Amino acid sequence: MALKDYVFKKSLWVFHFGGASCNNCDIEILDCLTPRFDVERFGIKLVGSVRHADVLLVNGSINVRDKDRLLEIYRQAPKPVLVIAIGACGCTGGIFAESFNFAGPVDKIIPVDAYVPGCPPKPEAIIAGIVALINKKKAEKEVEHAA
């Protein structure tokens, strides 16, 4: 079990789902993959097919049309898969929360493991979010062991 958790943590492949975002969060996510931040150091890699993904990065507000697609993408991902909601829009709806076609923040549609607030969050914040998620999984394990 320990080995499984360890290798999973060490090789998170990311699939990026952009909802109805203002595109600013998308750019910040791409920044994480640029040489300056270089997430490949931690084995994180952007993949093009959701079948290869371990982490679903969801950003932008989810509108009525996105909702089905997000659900479909989530179902297509091989489990275990982690979901991270990026940006104020992904976490709560942000400035789009009041709009007529808003279908709810990400966690109303699929289970979310970590939230990275900000409008847009800095790449440092996104990396910190992923690190927090990894540590959270570790802490959960310890609680399970203690219980």
Partner 1 sequence: MKELFYFLVYPGLAFAATVGGILSWFDRKVTAWVQFRKGPPFLQPLFDFLKLLLVKETIVPAKGSVYTFLLAPILSLFGASISAVLVLLPAFGINAGFSGDIIVIFYLMNIPPIAYILGAMASANPLASVGASREIKLIISYELTFILALGAIIYKAGMSLSLADIIAAQSGGVFAGSVSGILLLIALLFCAQAKLGLVPFDIAEAETEINHGSFIEYSGAPLALIYLTKYIMLFTLPAFIAVVLFGGLSVEGPQIIYSVLKVFGLVLLVTLIRNTNPRLKIKQAMRFFLLWMNLFVIIAFVLTLFGL
Q: Candidates 52, 108, 136, 141: give the one binding partner 1 (CB under 8 A).
A: 52
The tokens for 107 are: 């966690």
Residue 21 binding partner per list partner 1, ligand SF4, none, with a CB distance cut-off of 5 to 8 Å that depends on partner kind = ligand SF4
Q: Where are the beta strands (DSSP E) in 36-127?
A: 45-46, 55-59, 82-86, 114-116
Residue 88 binding partner per list partner 1, ligand SF4, none, with a CB distance cut-off of 5 to 8 Å that depends on partner kind = ligand SF4
User: Where in 72-131 is the site for partner 1 (CB under 8 A)?
Assistant: 76, 78-80
Q: Candidates 2, 4, 143, 147: give the one binding partner 1 (CB under 8 A).
A: 4
Q: Which is nearer to ligand SF4, 83 or 134 (CB)?
A: 83
Q: CB 15 → partner 1: shortest distance, Å?
A: 10
How many chain residues bind partner 1 (CB under 8 A)? 21
Q: How far apart are CA 147 and CA 142, in angstroms?
A: 9
Q: How far apart are CA 91 and CA 61, in angstroms?
A: 8
- State which amino acid sits at residue 43: G
Report helix angle 123-146 to 2-10, nearest 10. Answer: 180
